[in-house]
Chains A and B, each alone.
Chain A
């Protein structure tokens, strides 16, 4: 069982001062094996903070990120899954699932993790799964009118991934989970 934290669009300090305290107390160092970040941190302090939670940190570049060296897209393999990472402002129309599916085909990954809309989604389509962990700080978005802080924890176990989404609604942390399965090691969806 491999735990992967997916989060992004924190927009610190432009749109938020910090992660919600309830989230911070949940993100304990040593429990998570990988962090995938969709971008828009935006400052080094957040990068350093994430590094303390888990040293294996992958970040894609958001349009407001201070550090210009983050890549536009990133591909990594975790267990039986190939994951792709991209902030999402590059995919037009923004948040359009079909356009995202195209990106997924292009990157040839089982799971595409993307952000920009500040809206949690977990969507299965022909080419695999698209996951958007939303905004971990609940930051303002011109695309999404009603943003709640959220992040995703993926539990990768063999050919199965359980996606836990944590959302802060009215001061309480609500959890939901979704199951996905690969039918074989090749890149095809059931």
Chain B
């Protein structure tokens, strides 16, 4: 209902304004001063209404003030034509009602100022005082707004053509300050008009008008002559006086923000004391943190954009002042939620990172506890305990991430003694997420963590990923994939924990191990392998050094290998036997390269034990055995006896594999164990052939079984024969004297006859083998073809 009425009244008033304006314009056009004044006064009379809401009144005001522009121009023209301004000034005061009178006065007043007939300051003073006559908040506010608007271009502001001396500047300053003060008073008074139940509505309406008041501050900001001294000594104190004394929450909040946005940053820096000093004096309901955050943000941007200003920050000790101010706010506002206080410290942190990025101690302070100071992030949090508040958690993550992003160097973060303490306040999931962020920073920036102590500090930060939280071993809720990704991140991290100096690197390995071993059976299979491999890399480097700092004593690679034995053992307990076996074999090779025979032998023993006791799946056995044979084949460090023992066992395992074809293959692979390229004593031709013959017996058994069950594909076994044939050729070429042409021939015959019997499916293998044999026979280099001449190949189709 009221809204409708509002519209109606506005419509009526607007049309009245339009009508009067029309007549006024006509009078202006015919140079009829008297009529112009009459109709303008009538037009302005519409602004006397009390019926409109502030929003609607504004619309009306705009209409009217627009029309007044032509009146102003008319006045100017009149004076140019010879009419005396003083007279005009006198004339307008005859308007019947005070509000129209004052509007007209302001209009003519501005022309007066421009004429420079009278001192500007006198007119300004006159006007600003006379406006006092309108004490109705809404009308007075708009009237003064008009005054400000119409005099604006007559004041000596930066970039205008009007210059003046210091006196003129001060006069203008005084004028604006006074207008501002009065406007604020009116604005505040609006709050107390009307019934309490409409308080909220009034506040909303007031909010819409705030820019009218703020405009004055903008004008102040533009005035010539408002330098730092004037600002500090006159402008700021006067404004703050009004702000504090008005005791109005809305005004205080808005105006503080206005001050910060309007005036230059270096002014703020130099008057920081004063500005911050006003804060505790404001109403308790004022949202100080927004004010402070706004200020800090501006100062941060200032620091970021102009490097020359940075020394000033130090000079005024901006950091301590801000820190102190925040402390006071937090102390005073007991109900401040954790997220709010963290936000404040977050802004302070960002400020510090921009301004004092070299002062880690400042950054650390922002994080930490200083008993003498008024509190800090951590002391604030310790009162609340672990955070369950999502918002606060998010802020803390932002808080912790800010220095990470700024420095891009986790090593710097590790120097902040209070950083881990802040992390403690996050709930488990957020803590882990933060740990991942830290790891990702390292991966992305290729950061090297180069000392054992830094490693310790780092693992302290990411301990949420490394081990279960106290009392919480229940991992059911964790998504399997997420868990793997987490642990893989930790695994990747290991490669960045590195130092060129072997001794320091050694220490690092030991420390990493210490931390990882707290991880529990789910984590170990993912985190132990990178540790082991990193250690093996170290061992290789130790061997590669020209000058062995440990003298002839090879104990340090030995020490590390010993450590690895104990480490991989843990894996086998954690039911990751296949992985453990592979790692033992890797270690064995490293021991081989270091010429540590006993150590290498021990690794093999352990691998064999695992094979015998833990690896039961047939496919797993086949692969594991292959790896054993492949590794053993490369070992050079064993004496004859040890080598024999290990080889014998390997062949033993081979014949015990579940499936006969696998047995056959494993056995012929064992043949390689008796033949190594280097060194004559590693070439045992007889044993090689024994192996191959044994393999052939197994192949025979397979063939028998295949033939017995007719229809069953016999391809597997013929393939085995062909494989064996190839192996014989291999050793023939290597010069094994025990491999005779006859052996090969008879095998070839066998293949031929078996292929004739049934579809062999090994057709292409046979063809390619035969082709190869023919090729070798044709070789021009005598050695090879000689060997192949031994084989009679009449049966070659």
Contact = CB atoms under 8 A, between A and B. Distances in A.
Interface of A: 11-18, 43-45, 63-64, 89-90, 92-94, 98-99, 101-102, 105-106, 108, 126-127, 140, 142-143, 145, 187-188
Given A15-B533, A106-B723, A140-B537, A89 B488 contact: no
Interface stretch (B292-300, B385-393, B605-613, B768-776): B768-776
Interface in B138-179: none
A97 B684 CA distance: 21
A33 B486 CA distance: 32
A106 B623 contact: no
A40 to B, nearest CB: 11
A14 B487 CA distance: 11
A94 B630 contact: yes
Contacts of B626: 89-90, 92
A187 B769 CA distance: 12
Contacts of A127: 768, 772
A145 B764 CA distance: 37
A158 B530 CA distance: 44
A156 to B, nearest CB: 21
B772 A126 contact: yes
27 contacts: A13-B488, A13-B494, A14-B530, A16-B495, A17-B492, A17-B495, A43-B488, A45-B485, A89-B630, A92-B626, A92-B630, A92-B672, A93-B633, A93-B634, A93-B672, A94-B633, A105-B726, A106-B719, A106-B722, A106-B723, A106-B726, A126-B772, A127-B768, A127-B772, A140-B537, A142-B590, A145-B540
B492 A12 contact: yes
A17 B634 contact: no
A132 to B, nearest CB: 16
A12 B726 CA distance: 36
B536 interface: yes
B134 interface: no
A127 B774 CA distance: 12
A17 B533 contact: no
A93 B533 CA distance: 23
B491 A63 contact: no
Nearest to A91: B630
Interface string B219-248: 000000000000000000000000000000
Contacts of B524: none
B768 A187 contact: yes
Given A89-B627, A92-B672, A127-B768, A102 B495 contact: no
Contacts of B586: 142
Interface residues of B, number: 46
Q: Which of B488, B493, B536, B634 has the most CB of A within 10 A?
A: B488
Contact of A63 (B484, B627, B629): B627
B496 A17 contact: yes
A143 to B, nearest CB: 7
Interface in B520-545: 529-530, 533, 536-537, 540
Q: Which of A12, A63, A108 has the most CB of B within 10 A?
A: A63
Contacts of A14: 491, 529-530, 533
Q: Which of A11, A12, A108, A142 has the most CB of B within 10 A?
A: A142
A43 B727 CA distance: 35
Q: Secondary structure of the A side of the interface?
A: loop
Contacts of A64: 529, 582
B589 interface: yes
Given A18-B443, A64-B582, A98-B730, A93 B630 contact: yes
B775 A126 contact: yes
B208 to A, nearest CB: 53
Contacts of B493: 17
Contact of B768 (A13, A17, A45, A108): A108
Contacts of A142: 536, 586, 589-590, 593, 631
Contacts of A43: 484, 488
Nearest to A139: B533
B469 interface: no
B27 to A, nearest CB: 77
B669 interface: yes
Contact of A140 (B536, B593, B629, B726): B536
Nearest to B668: A92
B726 A92 contact: no
B483 interface: no
B136 to A, nearest CB: 70
B583 to A, nearest CB: 9
Interface in B531-586: 533, 536-537, 540, 582, 586
Contacts of B484: 43-44
Contacts of B700: none
B595 interface: no
A106 B722 CA distance: 9
Nearest to B725: A102
Given A45-B488, A93-B630, A102 B723 contact: yes
A43 B488 CA distance: 9
B733 interface: yes
Given A44-B484, A142-B589, 17 more contacts: A12-B492, A15-B495, A64-B529, A92-B633, A92-B672, A93-B630, A94-B633, A99-B730, A105-B726, A105-B768, A106-B719, A106-B722, A106-B723, A126-B771, A127-B768, A143-B589, A187-B768
Given A63-B627, A64-B582, A92-B669, A102 B775 contact: no
Given A45-B485, A64-B582, A102 B537 contact: no
Contact of A13 (B530, B590, B633): B530
Q: Which of A15, A44, A101 has the most CB of B within 10 A?
A: A15
B407 interface: no
Contact of B726 (A16, A17, A94, A102): A102
Nearest to A105: B768
Nearest to B485: A45
B765 interface: yes
B494 to A, nearest CB: 8
A64 B528 CA distance: 14
B629 A92 contact: yes
Contacts of A90: 626
Contacts of A143: 589, 634
B206 to A, nearest CB: 57
Contacts of A94: 630, 633-634
